[in-house]
């Protein structure tokens, strides 16, 4: 009886309100980019926004059925980012006469449908733990696919695509999910062994090789493949994922430091020996050198992006009123620069805060999760989203060298959209499991989750308003 009183509230209605808000933001952006461009038939606005709204509602309804305690903020943020991206892609289309936005909408639909299918099929994330080693196998397979002659294609110097008919896909994007599942599964099972058994070197305690071996093999394989494929961005992403998941599992900061040291050493070696990395560094450091600006594959892209953002200033030129199309890949790699130009520092800060909030909600789900596997998986997936956003925004702002990582949910590109939507589905499931009322017989828990009482009171406060 007592339990009924303190049971967490589903908060699906809050989600619905936020969802309408998010769709409103997307629709406004979409409408603006069409209306400010003279002589443009803006009729596809209604079609595209209706499809987007319908898709969002489908996920919302599914959550009401399968995961009604899921975090109510995650889906609206994702929908907001996705529709903003769609609006900008549409805007670049109008300027260039391309039709990328229709393609992006199609991919959004596919991604959301698959995410919905994941919600429906998985229901409880703990199911995934059974597939720990299969996930490893699938990861390696996905990473190797582009290297198969006839199937893989090289685009912009990186061999990370496979092409089937007119469909091309970056299987590596999906590998970040399967690798997360493997790391989470393996670490949750062997965490104690890794922590307890091992040799001591001064202040450092290193685990036995046989306990760490599967992890190291998985990590080395993925990094190795990426080096062969010349995909710098994903290499950074996988490295980060590995370090963070080991850290979350063991709480040993010294291993993080060793990891970062390895990044530094690896980075310097790559910078000195691998020509394309050297070139990337040169373009980054000497971006404003006219010779490097003019060279093919030079700094023109990044520098034009900077000029565009400087043009936008604090408040931007207004959607549809700038010229972000002057920047190569304005609708994918450089989409943050496009936003910076047209909605200004204020607008792009809002976007960054959305990412920050999304990642925070994901990590909140990790904190609340009642099982180690869920904690690790949610932490790993949230970190992946966050690191992607940070690496690409850092690249566009020239804080770090620009890499070809996709801006999550916004950049044109199907594979990344699909992978990130699946991540959202998994985060929603984990948050549902961490917040739903515990039935009398709860599964094995490694740690006591955050007490639910204060949360209830917060919810009540919100409701009483």
Residue 446: CB minimum distance to another protein, A:
8
d(CA 56, CA 61): 9
Q: How far apart are CA 30 and CA 84, in angstroms?
A: 7
Q: Does 284 bind another protein (CB under 8 A)?
A: no
Q: Pick from 157, 224, 297, 313: which binds another protein (CB under 8 A)? A: 313
Chain position carrying tokens 């999906």: 174
* 327, 338 contact by CB (below 8 A): yes
Alpha carbons 457 and 463: distance in angstroms, whole number: 10
180 binds another protein (CB under 8 A): no
Minimum Å gap between C-beta 355 and another protein is 7
- Confirm or reject binding of residue 183 to another protein (CB under 8 A): no
Rounded distance between C-alpha atoms, residue 12 and residue 70, angstroms: 8
DSSP letter at 331 equals T
323 contacts another protein (rule: CB under 8 A): yes
Please tell me the distance from the alpha carbon of residue 421 to that of residue 132, in angstroms, as a whole number.
21
Strand partners, 158: 155
Task: From 15-23, 58-66, 106-114, 304-312, give the range in contact with another protein by CB under 8 A.
Answer: 304-312
**Using the rule CB under 8 A, which residue among 72, 76, 185, 340 binds another protein?**
340
* Near another protein by CB under 8 A: residue from 307, 329, 455, 459: 307
Residues 6+ apart with CB under 8 A from 131: 181, 185
386 near another protein, judged by CB under 8 A: yes
397 near another protein, rule: CB under 8 A:
yes
Beta strands in 177-258 (DSSP E): 198-201, 204-207
Q: How far is the CB of 277 from another protein (least distance, A)?
A: 22
Min. distance of Cβ 352 from another protein in angstroms?
Answer: 6
Binding range to another protein, per CB under 8 A, among 126-134, 197-205, 356-364, 409-417: 356-364
167 forms beta bridges with: 164
Q: Minimal distance in Å, beta carbon 348 to another protein?
A: 6
- Name the one residue in this structure whose structure tokens are 């059925």: 65
CB of 386 to another protein, least distance (A): 4
Cβ proximity to another protein, 145 vs 232, nearer residue: 232
Give the burial class of 437: count Cβ atoms within 10 A of its Cβ; 0-12 exposed, 13-18 middle, 19 or more buried: exposed
Given the rule CB under 8 A, which of 62-70, 139-147, 207-215, 345-353 is the region that contacts another protein? 345-353
In whole angstroms, the minimum distance from the beta carbon of 247 to another protein comes to 6
- Distance of closest approach, residue 448 Cβ to another protein, in angstroms: 10
Based on the shown chain and the rule CB under 8 A, indicate whether residue 387 belongs to the binding site for another protein. Answer: yes
17-25, 68-76, 130-138, 299-307 -> range binding another protein (CB under 8 A): 299-307
Q: Is 244 in the site for another protein (CB under 8 A)?
A: yes
- Separation between Cα atoms, residue 216 and residue 226, nearest integer Å: 15
Contacts of 239 (CB under 8 A, 6+ apart): 219, 223, 259, 263
- Kindly state whether residue 344 participates in binding another protein, applying the rule CB under 8 A: yes
Contact flag: residue 251 with another protein (CB under 8 A): yes
206: helix, strand or coil:
strand
124 near another protein, judged by CB under 8 A: no
**Span near another protein by CB under 8 A; candidates 57-65, 200-208, 383-391, 436-444:** 383-391
Q: By the 8 A CB rule, do 122 and 105 touch?
A: no
Asked whether position 375 contacts another protein by CB under 8 A, the answer is yes
Stretch that binds another protein, among 28-36, 57-65, 132-140, 442-450 (CB under 8 A): 442-450
The region of 28-36, 46-54, 126-134, 247-255 touching another protein under the rule CB under 8 A is 247-255
379 DSSP β-pair partners = none
Q: 392 and 384 in contact (C-beta within 8 Å)?
A: no
321 binds another protein (CB under 8 A): no
Q: What are the DSSP calls for 257-320, one per residue?
A: HHHHHHHHHHHHHHHHH-HHHHHHHHHHHTTT-HHHHHSTTSSHHHHHHHHHHHHHTTT-S-TT
Q: Is 463 exposed, middle or buried (0-12, 13-18, 19+ CB in 10 A)?
A: exposed
Residue 31 vs 293, nearer CB to another protein? 293
Q: Would you count residue 348 as binding another protein (CB under 8 A)? A: yes
Query: According to the binding rule CB under 8 A, does residue 225 interact with another protein?
Result: no
C-beta of 62 vs 359, nearer to another protein = 359
Select the residue interacting with another protein from 447, 457, 460, 463 (CB under 8 A).
447
Q: Residue 104: which of 385, 421, 419, 417 has the closest Cα?
A: 417
360 belongs to the binding site for another protein (CB under 8 A): yes
DSSP classification of residue 392: H
**Interface with another protein (CB under 8 A):** 244, 247-251, 288, 290, 293, 303, 306-314, 323, 326, 340, 344-345, 348-349, 352, 355-356, 359-360, 363, 366-367, 372, 375, 379, 383, 386-387, 389-390, 393-394, 397-399, 446-447, 450
């Amino acid at each position: 009886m007592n339990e009924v009183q303190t049971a967490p509230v589903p908060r699906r209605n809050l989600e619905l309100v936020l969802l309408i808000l998010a769709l409103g933001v997307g629709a406004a952006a979409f409408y603006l980019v069409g209306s400010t461009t003279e002589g443009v038939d803006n009729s596809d606005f209604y079609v595209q926004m209706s499809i987007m709204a319908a898709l969002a509602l489908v996920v919302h309804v599914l959550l009401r059925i399968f995961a009604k305690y899921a975090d109510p903020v995650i889906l609206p943020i994702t929908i907001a980012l996705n529709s903003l991206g769609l609006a900008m892609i549409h805007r670049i289309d109008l300027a260039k006469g391309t039709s990328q936005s229709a393609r992006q909408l199609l991919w959004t639909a596919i991604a959301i449908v698959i995410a919905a299918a994941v919600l429906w099929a998985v229901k409880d994330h703990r199911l995934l733990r059974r597939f720990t080693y299969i996930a490893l196998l699938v990861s390696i397979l996905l990473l190797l696919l582009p290297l198969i002659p006839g199937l893989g294609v090289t685009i912009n110097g990186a061999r990370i695509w496979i092409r089937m008919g007119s469909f091309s896909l970056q299987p590596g994007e999906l590998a970040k999910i399967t690798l997360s599942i493997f790391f989470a599964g393996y670490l949750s099972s062997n965490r104690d062994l890794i922590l307890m058994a091992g040799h001591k070197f001064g202040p450092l305690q290193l685990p036995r090789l046989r306990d760490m071996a599967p992890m190291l093999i998985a990590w080395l394989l993925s990094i190795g493949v990426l080096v062969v494929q010349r995909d710098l961005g994903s290499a950074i992403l996988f490295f980060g994922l590995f370090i963070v998941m080991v850290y979350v599992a063991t709480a040993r900061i010294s291993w993080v430091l060793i990891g970062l040291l390895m990044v530094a050493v690896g980075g310097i070696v790559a910078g000195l020996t691998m020509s394309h990395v050297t070139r990337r560094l040169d373009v980054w450091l000497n971006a404003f050198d006219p010779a490097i600006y003019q060279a093919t594959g030079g700094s023109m892209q990044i520098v034009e992006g900077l000029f565009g953002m400087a043009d936008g200033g604090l408040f931007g030129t207004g959607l549809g009123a700038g010229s972000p199309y002057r920047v190569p890949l304005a609708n994918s790699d450089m989409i943050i620069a496009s936003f910076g130009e047209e909605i200004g520092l204020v607008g792009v800060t809002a976007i960054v805060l959305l990412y920050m909030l999304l990642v925070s909600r994901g990590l909140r789900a990790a904190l609340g999760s009642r099982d180690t596997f869920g904690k690790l998986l949610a932490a790993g997936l949230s970190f992946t989203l966050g690191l992607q956003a940070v690496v690409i925004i850092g690249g566009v702002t020239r804080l770090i060298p620009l890499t070809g990582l996709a801006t999550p949910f916004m950049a044109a590109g199907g594979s990344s959209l699909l992978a990130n939507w699946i991540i959202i589905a998994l985060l929603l499931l984990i948050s549902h499991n961490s917040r739903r009322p515990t039935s009398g017989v709860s599964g094995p828990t490694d740690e006591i989750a955050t007490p639910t009482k204060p949360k209830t009171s917060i919810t009540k406060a919100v409701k009483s308003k």
